[in-house]
């Protein structure tokens, strides 16, 4: 299914938050109809942070972002990929801090050509740890 499984899981988190968690006086259907762009980004940040926090066992979350291009050569036998060499890890020991960081950098996950799904997948792997 490619990226569909990851997107479906994130969308499920977002819908659950919108329908059952978010504090508002509107009915459930009105909650979904009155969602602005800013709030959409906030809901996405919340869903990503909650998922990463759960993957980290409730004690940590790692967020991967792409930085500026680097000029290092790949090791022998490795092929250079323009994305992997530019990934930087940000580790958080508090869920609220991770959520705020993701919210501040939400365009890295949702912008056109941002590699958002692969960055989230890397973040999940590093949050969970390779040993687990």
> Is 87 inside any structural domain?
yes
The answer to whether 81 and 43 have CB atoms below 8 angstroms apart is no
> Is 10 inside any structural domain?
no
> Is 22 inside any structural domain?
no
> Is 15 inside any structural domain?
no
> Is 27 inside any structural domain?
no
pLDDT the model gives residue 71: 57
**What is the 8-class DSSP label of residue 56?**
T
> Is 6 inside any structural domain?
no
pLDDT the model gives residue 123: 95
Domain count for the chain, please give it. Answer: 1
16, 92, 87: which is closest to 53 by C-alpha?
92
pTM, two decimals, is 0.81
- Profile the chain (132 residues) by mean pLDDT over runs of 10 residues: 83 85 67 78 93 93 84 61 83 96 93 86 92 81
Q: Where are the beta strands (DSSP E) in the chain?
A: 61-66, 87-92
CA distance 117 to 120: 5
95 membership: H or E segment, kind and range: helix 95-104
pLDDT the model gives residue 1: 63
The answer to whether 124 and 55 have CB atoms below 8 angstroms apart is yes
pLDDT the model gives residue 16: 84
SS3 89: strand
> Is 28 inside any structural domain?
no
Q: 109 lies in which domain range? A: 36-70+81-128
pLDDT the model gives residue 75: 65
> Is 24 inside any structural domain?
no
pLDDT the model gives residue 26: 63
């Amino acid at each position: 299914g490619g990226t569909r499984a990851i997107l479906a899981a994130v969308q499920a988190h977002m819908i659950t938050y919108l329908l059952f968690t978010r504090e508002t006086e509107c009915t459930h259907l009105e909650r979904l109809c009155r969602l602005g762009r800013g709030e959409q980004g906030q809901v996405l940040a919340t869903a990503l942070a909650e998922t990463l926090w759960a993957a980290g066992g409730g004690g940590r979350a790692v967020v991967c972002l792409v930085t500026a291009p680097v000029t290092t050569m790949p090791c022998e036998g490795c092929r250079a990929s323009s994305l992997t060499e530019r990934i930087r890890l940000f580790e958080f020991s508090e869920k609220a801090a991770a959520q705020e960081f993701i919210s501040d950098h939400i365009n890295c996950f949702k912008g056109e050509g941002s590699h958002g799904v692969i960055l989230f997948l890397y973040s999940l792997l590093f949050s969970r740890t390779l040993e687990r």
